[in-house]
Amino acid sequence: MHSWDKTLIGTSKCFLQATGMIPLLSVAKSTVLISGETGTGKELFARAIHYTGERRGKPFVPVNCAALPDHLIENELFGHSKGAFTGALNEKSGLFQEANGGTLFLDEINSLNLTVQSKLLRVLQDQEFRPLGSTKSQRVDVKIVAATNTDLRCLVESRQFREDLFYRLNILSVLLPSLRDRKEDILLLTTHFLRIYAKEFGRGPITLAPSSKAKLMGYPWPGNVRELEGVVQRAVVMAAGDVLEAHDFDLPDNKQPEPVGPTMALLSRGQITDECSFQKMKTRVIEEFERTYLCELLSAHQGNISQAARAAKKERRAFQRLLHKHGLDRRVFFAA
Ligand SMILES: Nc1ncnc2c1ncn2[C@@H]1O[C@H](COP(=O)(O)OP(=O)(O)OP(=O)(O)O)[C@@H](O)[C@H]1O
Ligand SMILES: [Mg+2]
């Protein structure tokens, strides 16, 4: 059995809001739904929930619902009895039995077909299920943590996802922020991965030149933390020097006319719903602008507050108050 040996890195407000929920999510009996773009750390988060709680001594069983073909998934989840279908020579237990006492992590739950969705709903309601071809129900004590990288509400609207299952899953839910929404964590994560991969590849300490910091901060990271980890790993393998320059980081061309400014970014992400009043949206856009601006500026001035405040034409104390408001620690931006 694997133990928990990973750290969730991040100090941004939105990330800490999510990680702050882990103790509560780990003791709660209800299902937990983790949403977030690809690579935002959903599986890592699910493991953190499992290994923080009392189930940590029992199995954590991950299953990628998208990777299993429709005709196999029921068998995988619930198992079968002897003779259930041609070729079922022996009884086989499913992942629900395997996870008994522990946690079943249903990754990419959005891709479950409607038949399995209704079976799953029954398990969630009764904590019991019937293996394929069996007449007897089995009871299990399994905590379900599910993850999705698409908005399940939209799938409910288009009738691809059962509404009743959605409500059942969504009792406790957490949305993991994209890396774009927590830019201040980019350099922290980079340093973290630099340390890990320098060690793995038998290299001494590797640091970042200011030019590479600006490049990493300016990239939109559509693949989020997973993409960042890959880029850092590649840089560690390929770069000869111990101070990584901008050209050591191989990033796709970032010159496409980005949706200019935070307003367009919010609009293009389709985040405007009926619940978003003008005032709420305005506040969000301003907050996003402030955070991005402060991060870029601190990065350019390597965490030097006096210089950054001067460049912003703001009084030093007012500038510091702004940093405080966004939970930004200038040390993150020091030249490594
Ligand atoms: N906050 C974090 N701190 C440290 N490492 C992280 C963090 N978030 C993600 N990672 C690392 O990034 C990689 C991707 O994370 P993970 O597999 O949990 O993402 P995911 O949301 O499940 O992605 P996908 O949607 O593509 O399945 C992993 O190697 C994970 O260890
Ligand atoms: Mg995943």
- What is residue 7's predicted lDDT score, i.e. its pLDDT? 85
In a domain, 8, yes or no: no
In a domain, 2, yes or no: no
Specify whether 27 is located in the same domain as 138.
Answer: yes
**Alpha-carbon gap, residue 94 to 92, rounded angstroms:** 7
Please give the backbone phi and psi of residue 221, each rounded to the nearest 5 degrees, phi first. 50, 65
Ramachandran class of 326: left when φ > 0, alpha when ψ lies in -120 to 50, beta otherwise: alpha
Strand residue runs (E) in 245-314: none
In a domain, 1, yes or no: no
Specify whether 198 is located in the same domain as 237.
Answer: yes
- Extract the residue ranges of the chain whose pLDDT is less than 50: 1-2, 255-260
Specify whether 128 is located in the same domain as 21.
Answer: yes
Specify whether 35 is located in the same domain as 157.
Answer: yes
**Which contiguous run of DSSP H or E holds residue 49?**
helix 42-52
State in Å: Cα 228 to ligand 1 middle.
10
**Which contiguous run of DSSP H or E holds residue 148?**
strand 143-148
- What is residue 3's predicted lDDT score, i.e. its pLDDT? 54
Specify whether 335 is located in the same domain as 301.
Answer: yes
- What is residue 258's predicted lDDT score, i.e. its pLDDT? 47
State in Å: Cα 41 to ligand 2 middle.
7
> Mutation test of ligand 1: which of 9, 38, 44 has the most ligand atoms closer than 8 Å to its C-beta?
44
Specify whether 18 is located in the same domain as 163.
Answer: yes
**Alpha-carbon gap, residue 195 to 4, rounded angstroms:** 19
Dihedral over Cα of 96, 97, 99, 103: its sign: positive
Specify whether 34 is located in the same domain as 165.
Answer: yes
- What is residue 5's predicted lDDT score, i.e. its pLDDT? 62
> Quick check: 196 and 160 in contact, CB under 8 A?
no
CA dihedral 224, 30, 142, 26 (to 10 degrees): 60
In a domain, 83, yes or no: yes
- What is residue 286's predicted lDDT score, i.e. its pLDDT? 84
Q: Which atom of ligand 1 is nearest to the CA of 39?
A: 23
Specify whether 189 is located in the same domain as 319.
Answer: no
- What is residue 272's predicted lDDT score, i.e. its pLDDT? 59
Specify whether 248 is located in the same domain as 267.
Answer: no
**Alpha-carbon gap, residue 52 to 119, rounded angstroms:** 29
Specify whether 24 is located in the same domain as 139.
Answer: yes
**In the structure, which protein residues have their CB atom closer than 6 angstroms to any atom of ligand 1?**
6, 8-10, 36, 38-44, 149, 225-226, 229
- What is residue 1's predicted lDDT score, i.e. its pLDDT? 42
- What is residue 69's predicted lDDT score, i.e. its pLDDT? 84
- In the structure, ligand 2 is a single-atom ion and the residues with CB under 5 Å from it are 43
> Quick check: 316 and 305 in contact, CB under 8 A?
yes
Q: How far from each other are the two terminal CA atoms of the chain, in whole angstroms? A: 37
Q: Domain range holding 123?
A: 13-175
Q: Indicate the pTM of the whole model.
A: 0.78
Q: How many domains does the chain have?
A: 3
Q: Which atom of ligand 1 is nearest to the CA of 43?
A: 18
Q: What SS3 class is residue 39?
A: coil
Nearest ligand to the C-alpha of residue 38?
1
